[in-house]
Amino acid sequence: MEKQPNAHHRSRTMSIFSRLADIINSNLTSLLDKAEDPQKMVRLIIQEMEDELVKERSNLARFLANQKEIGRQVSRHQERVNEWQAKAELALTKGREDLARAALIEKNKQSELAEALYREQQAVDSGIDKLGDEIRQLEAKLEDARARQKAMAIRSEAASSRLNVQSQVARGDSQAVVSKFERMERRIDEMEARADLGQSDKALAQQFAELEADDQISRELEAMRQKLGQSDTASKGE
């Protein structure tokens, strides 16, 4: 059965940066501009920076502990140097040049050890200063990356809101068009109703006019019949 790579191996394979200097010297703008998915890339960058920051702070804590331990050792050897110096002087005052010579030999050994430890302490001090400076630069890079991530999130949210507003506006326009046609249809219905009512009023008025005209004709006919009747009566009397 084929052995699967562990998570640590995969994370190292997928690492964006190979070492702390790469992070510090990196150009985030260039990295993000070249990324197919800048938001995903900035998340990975931030994660790797945070992991590296944890590691380097741990290294710094270890170096500080070493610095203290070396300082204690230097102090102990310096104390022994002073002790052997005092013994050499005592032996010499007592006329024991051989003991004084032996004490000075031990003194020189302790002095050499103290000097070696002091040089090591200076190297550690220098390393601490350098690592502290690199950590500060890494923290600044991390802050920059987080600010870029926040800016991306704001731009993404703004773009999403803009699309949402445009979609709402588009729906609003469609509804406005529908409402406009509905209003137009209502106006047309009202106009047709008014027209129908007008035609109905016209027909009714015409009917009454015709009745009135017919009544007038009837009166005229009655008047004519009466006139003719009177004429007939007058003719018969003669």
Q: Give whole-number Cα distances, 36 to 12, 32, 65, in Å.
A: 21, 8, 44
Q: What is the pLDDT of residues 118-169, one digit of tens each?
A: 999 999 999 999 999 999 998 988 898 888 888 888 877 777 766 666 665 5
- Under the banding of pLDDT at 50, 70 and 90, the label for residue 187 is low
Dist CA 34 CA 42 (whole Å): 12
22-45 core/surface letters (b: 16 or more CB in 10 A; e: else): ebbebebeebbeeeeebeebbeeb
Place of tokens 């010297």: 25
Please indicate whether residue 192 or residue 56 has the higher confidence score (pLDDT). 56
Q: What is the pLDDT of residue 5?
A: 43
H or E stretch at 5: none
pTM given for the model: 0.54
Phi first, then psi: what are they for 18, rounded to 5°? -95, -20
Instruction: Give the C-alpha separation, 104 to 85, whole Å.
Output: 6
Q: What is the CA radius of gyration of the chain?
A: 56
Report the Cα 103 to chain-centroid distance in Å. Answer: 72
pLDDT value at residue 237? 54
Q: At what angle do helices 38-93 and 97-237 cross, to 10 degrees?
A: 160
Hey, CA dihedral for 16, 19, 23, 29, is it positive or negative? Answer: negative
Highest mean pLDDT among 16-25, 155-164, 218-227: 218-227
First to last CA, the chain: 152
